[in-house]
Amino acid sequence: MQNKIRLLVADDSASVRKVLTEGISSDPQVEIVGVARNGIEAVELVGKLKPDVVTLDVEMPRMSGIEALERIMADQPTPVVMVSSLTGEGTATTIRALELGAVDFALKKASHGSVAVRDLIDELLEKIHAAAASNVIGLAESKSAADESAQDDDLQLASSHIRVALIASSTGGPQALRMVIPALPRDLATPVLVVQHLPAGFTARMAASLDTASPLKVEEAKPGVRLEAGKVLIAPGGVHMRVSKIGTIRLSLEDRECGVRPSANPTMESLAEVYGEATLGVVLTGMGTDATRGAGLIKAAGGTIIAEDESTCVVYGMPKSVATAGYVDKVVPLTRMASEIARRCQVQERAA
């Protein structure tokens, strides 16, 4: 018999705690082992009870949810799902939580009707189950490790013809991207595209956060923007991103693929068509199979695919799917991903 998911609920509102605990308890696979009224209690109970998953409110007295999250990830790395009205309206707060290690987030709706409550509980239960299967310890350990330097034989094998790089990520992606993008060199010789599964409105905040931390220019992609060496363009939430034959961004509201929009597949498909063997595809942590079809197209065009190693993935879904399909040229832990991308994204003049 499968063990129940042991859950800690943290929220400063007694009424919200009651709604959440009653609703979540309807799932026989989830056991609520503790309830916290503020951030300090949440941190203490995580250490004492060692739950499988924590749902954590953002606005709480004595210690905020963001401060509590940071303490939890430092002291006792545990899968956390943020639950707050701020996670919708305060997108910067959400991005900060995801960068600190929250696995996912859910939004308390302005309406408190039965339908809104049921929708929230259904969403939470889905994300609690997903969080319980995640690996936050591997990523927490990798954050403390420096980006390892390449061996000489790696340098000899590095490609010199890459003209564009695409990074695909989902669950755990914002934290992984926070480790990779700022570590890329200022003089990177190729443009970098990023497809991270996030709703509309969140990717602009993520781009701004990464831009502040990075030597490269990081922007949310806009229609008609040209790809430039050393610039990072992030697909906007809610739309697919493609690259035209003249190297400019195209955005579309085509149907979701793999249940998501943006999906990495349309972007990878267009890169395979435009850049062919000069394309580098990088698949980071994430749930599902997005990027598998696109990786196959890049490989068929002669391009290169790198996948994140299972040991550092929060969710080993997307990289596993691509690897199982036989499309991966190299598997790299997150601690080495930035240097691996940099080595492969050199123009021939610099590699000579």
What residues act catalytically?
A: 170, 197, 290
Helix orientation angle between 334-344 and 136-143, rounded to the nearest 10 degrees: 60
Count Cβ atoms within 10 A of the Cβ of residue 149 and give its class: 0-12 exposed, 13-18 middle, 19 or more buried.
exposed
154 CB-near residues (< 8 Å, 6+ apart) = 340, 343
Q: For 62-77, b where at least 16 C-beta lie within 10 A, e where not — what string?
A: ebbbbbbbbbbbeebb
Structure tokens at 148: 């390892």
Whether 38 contacts 63, CB under 8 Å? yes
Give whole-number Cα distances, 310 to 283, 285, 323, in Å: 11, 8, 11
Instruction: Give the dihedral of Cα atoms 187, 152, 318, 170; nearest 10 deg.
Output: -30
Structure tokens at 214: 């990075």
Whether 266 contacts 293, CB under 8 Å? no
